[in-house]
A and B are shown apart, each in its own frame.
Chain A
Amino acid sequence: MTANLQELYQEVILDHHRRPRNRGTLSEPVHRAEGSNPLCGDRLTIYVRLDGDVIAEVAFEGSGCAISTAAASLMTEAVKGKTVSEAQVLFERYHRILTEDGGEADASRALGKLAVLSGVRQYPVRVKCATLCWHALRAALEDRQEVVTTE
């Protein structure tokens, strides 16, 4: 595998793709939103249960490419136990690392495990795969009913 490809499909990503964490649904009461990128055929639903302002439980189901599945799995691990505003800040950092040149160094420190997805930056057409779950999470937290998309 070439170096770039190795960075994109790191072992952690392949692992989360093969064995996604927090896959499934949550029982009521939950916030819920759907994300769909019909051009690629990625589709997922995010479920969130809040305890006050804290994301107590989060789960996802759906089907998609390795990047979108791993991104969703890693996201659920990253935001669990965080407040809504902390999750929002995390998303902004994550988005920066995927889209901005040079944003990597400072952002990756604060991102923890999510930093494994930084290889996506080399493949601009795949950024939409890595961010679909986050946009769906935000829609769920805002109780928006429309299906979100990143295409």
Chain B
Amino acid sequence: MKLAEFQRRFYTDDMYPLRIGSGAIGGKATGLVDITEAIEADATINTDSEVTISIPRMVVIATDLFDDFMEQNRLYDAALSKIPDDRIAEEFQNASLPVRLVGDLRSIAREVNMPLAVRSSSMLEDALKHPFAGVYATKMIPNNQPNEDQRFQKLVQAIKLVYASTFFEGARRYAQAIGKNSSDEKMAVIIQEVVGTRHNDRFYPDISGVARSHNYYPFGHAQPADGVVNLALGLGKAIVDGEPTWSYCPAYPMSPPPFNGISDLLKCTQNNFWAVNMSSISEYHPTQENEFLAQGLLSDAEYDNTLHRIASTYNAPSDRIEMGIGANGPRVINFAPALGLNESPLNTIIRNVLAVCEKSNGENVEIEFAITFSKSRGFDGRFGLLQVRPTASVQSEIEIDAWTSESPDSVVFSTRVMGHGVHRVIEDIVFVRPDTFEPKNSLIAAQEIGRINSHLQKEERPYLLIGYGRWGTTDPWRGIPVVWDQISGAKAIVEAEMEEARSDFSQGSHFFHNMTSFDVSYFHVPSGQGFKLDMEWIERQQVISEHKYTKHVRVDSPLTVKVDGRNGRGVVHHD
């Protein structure tokens, strides 16, 4: 689909995306543009409800303007000089946007006075069909200042921040990890209306969500092809940043995710939410992504009257969760009314949109969306589709044959693995020593691991963690009783089996939310044929630190962690 040229009218008669400039529009914008017609054309998507499904109004600034900005201001030297992120951001703020862009931005500032999201739309993302989720900056601006000049300035600052984030350290590392350089990247920018409603000084959607048509961490009865949905109250930042949110399988919307009891559920669901700060008083941080974001408490949301469709209440005397907020008690954001009541179309709409996006893309997809309900107590409102990303191309890279376990290069092999993708970032291995470890010492082993983890986290070195029995168990005799903070730097976790601590595959349930949020692979390696854990090779590596029950070694070149989420097969191998 061809984008119409922006004619200085943000509010056009139709909702099709518009463009400024003539270059590429990047992966994120392409995903949305491609799906716009499919969403409008598919009559099955929303036949029974009063929810309007659409792509929020948006204008895309094409990559030729990014090129002009970089070249006219001679920014490449600073951008590629590996100076700290804040210095890069400062350099970019001091530069001028291309003259052929500023008039158009001025017209947006003049016409629009509601919150805007300024998002990156990377060309590498488009070229490689590789999702760059969370790599580049997104800035929300309230855009509600009475003065047009101020709205213009904030919009300009946000665009410059998104441009600068192309060269931030995290983006550089990410590019490196996929065999590219930041200098290969060109950035388009999406200026999009924020879906939401203003409540006092907060502007936020009733529900934000990320849905994937394929689930690489299936739990319970769910199959990978059933997909997975994460929902949050307020802006989607909570989901993107890996904060506690609600995860469920769209085939079983009423099945809760694997929590270890109600106290775990209370701890691992949302206690606060993100909103655009509409207050006239905000700190001045043009180089910060969250300059205009504010966190609200659940009590704020209840005051805003945005909990009744999504929250339940903990009844302490009966130690039960009751749907809705009719009774007094701590609120639990489990979306039970929206997912469980027959009149709610929420899950049906998510499934339909996911199916349309999957069909249109011809492969598995991940979508981001935001929902606002109208003032009435029903479920009529607006479903805004914010992003569509194909995920299948990543799969096609991953082929793991059964004979891989026989390969001398493979260090770990299992057919009981959760996660998906390929990582080549691990050079460190932390493991529980099989020669000294006994289950009675598991608590000490956990403390040792916590110290090593802290050290590696400081150095920003992701690592492979190997231990025996269930990780995170509360019973020290059944595994290593760590909490997430003690292993938070692990990029891949191996749960091996030993005679003294034989246990079932834990499915990583103790850290399920963290693992899914941080894309951690989880290997269960029972002893027996078809599985492999080459401790002899690991023991031969350079020892960094040695403790009573644990050891930290380093390899010469990064290990490859490869997990095929379609069949739960995974391998860790060295070069």
Tell me, yes or no, whether A binds B: no
Residues of A at the B interface (CB closer than 8 Å) are: none
